[in-house]
Every structure is written in structure tokens, then in C-alpha cells.
Amino acid sequence: MVHLHNHLPSMAFYLMWYIALAIQVSLCFLYAFKCIFYFDLVKEEFSHYIGVNYLYAPFISCLLLLQSAPLMEPHSVLYKTLFWVFVLPVLTLDTKLYGQWFTTEKRFLSIMANPASQVSVIANLVAARGAAEMGWKECALCLFSLGMVHYLVIFVTLYQRLPGGNNFPTTLRPVSFLFFAAPATGSLAWNSICGTFDTVAKMLFFLSLFIFVSLVCRPTLLKKSIKRFNVAWWAYSFPITFLALDSVHYAQEVKDHVASALMLI
């Protein structure tokens, strides 16, 4: 009985990971069928100023599953191969999305920016963390800088309340929680790059925590979006998970009662 009790946490992890993998594979197959039978809708998503950001989501999920894979070492050939399989589409979307902000006359960032634009930032930061785990520091720094620079640009643009943010649908307002997901992910990525939760990681964690508190203190902002269940509610749990992971790393580094209390909260 004691032996079983000791293995319960690992059993739960394996179970959750394989369930997540099964769901991810199922969703990929469903989207592949959509590409085959409803290609016009996929093209429309690719051109839509909000929809294009969600094309990053499958690759973020795959990278997170890869980084948490229980039976795969980061230095294995399979891990490296899968890493590039998932990262190359992210870089392709980056070239398309970020490039049009520079070159396309009708797609300036000041017009197209919306809270969902931060999904692209998170994809780059998750990829940076994966590269750091394999020991590819230069690649990790490249992806990290790409993500954080664009996060700052998007954050400042949205902070000014320009037209793009005002055209955002009410049902997608939970995506506002991505404001603190990006710095929280950046903090974890920087921790993996440096191998320690240093000053930069702490600064990103504090920024994420401040934005989280600012959003929680304004429940009326999200009141209309929670009246009826919507798939967009994923934007609540996803950022909070990364913030919780950050708080754990912070508590382990600082070893303070306040940090430990913050981790438990």
C-alpha cells in the first residue's frame, strides 16, 4: 500500500500527459479534415487579424507536451527532430505576421493589434524554453529576444487603446489574461536559459503578477464574457498555470515565507 502511495503522483502525471496527448492528436486530425474539406475557411482564418494568431496554438501545445514528455530526453535525436517540426511552422507564421506589420499598407500593427496577438509571443517563448533545455543557448536567446521584443511592441500598442483592441469581440475578452501570460512564460524561458531564477526572471515574474492583480481587480471587464460557457475560457487557466509555475521557481530561489505564501495562493 505504501509502495502504491509513493507512485501515485507519477501515475497521475503519466495519465494526464497521455490524455493530453490523445486530445492533441484528435484535434490535429480534426483540423486536418477541416483543411481538406473546408479549405476556404482555413484561408479565411489565415487572413483574419484575430484568427491568424490561433494558428500558433497547436504548436504551443505540441511544444509543451514535448517538454514535459516523461520518456524522452532533451538531447535525444527524436526530441530534437520533433522540436524543429513544431518550431519551423512558428517561425513561418512569425515571418508572415510580423512581416506584414512592416510592409503591408493596410495591416499596420496600430490597426491590427489585439489581445490575441500575444499568442505569437508565447509561442516564441515556449520554443525558447525548449531550445534552452537541449542546451542550444544561442537558439534559445534568438527565440527569446524575438518574443520579448514583439511583446513590448504589442503591449505598448494595446496600452494606448488603439482601434484594433476596441474591435475585439466580447466573447473573446478572456484572452486579456494573456497580458500576464507572456511575461510569465518569458520568466520560465529565461530561467531555463540561465539555469537560475535571476534578476531578469524575477522582473518578468513581478510584471506578470502585477498585470494579473490589475485584471482580477476589474471583474466588470470580463462580466459579459462569463455569462455563457465559451471555448475562449482556456485563456483563464493557461496564463494562471504559467504564473503558478513562476511562483514555485521564485519560492525555491528566494526561500522566504512571503514567497512560499505567494506560491500557495
Residue pLDDT, tens place only, 148-207: 998 998 888 888 776 555 566 777 777 888 888 999 999 999 999 998 888 999 999 999
Confidence of residue 105 (pLDDT cuts 50, 70, 90): low
Q: Which one of 65-79, 97-111, 131-145 scores highest in mean pLDDT?
A: 131-145
Q: What confidence score (pLDDT) does residue 8 get?
A: 45
Domain ranges across the chain: 37-264
> With 70 as the cut, is the pLDDT of residue 251 above it?
yes
Alpha helices in the chain (DSSP H): 2-37, 39-47, 57-67, 77-103, 109-112, 118-133, 137-159, 163-166, 178-194, 199-216, 234-254, 257-264
Question: Contact, 134 vs 75, CB < 8 A?
Answer: yes
What average pLDDT does the structure give for the chain? 83
Confidence of residue 223 (pLDDT cuts 50, 70, 90): low
Which superfamily is assigned to 37-264 in CATH?
A: Voltage-dependent anion channel (1.50.10.150)
Confidence of residue 81 (pLDDT cuts 50, 70, 90): very high
Residues 162-170: contacts with CB under 8 Å, at least 24 apart = 162/110, 162/111, 162/113, 163/110, 163/111, 164/49, 164/109, 164/110, 164/111, 164/112, 164/113, 164/114, 165/113, 165/114, 165/115, 167/114, 168/50, 168/114, 168/115, 168/116, 169/50, 170/224, 170/225
Query: Residue 236, CB half-sphere, CA atoms under 13 Å: how many?
Result: 14
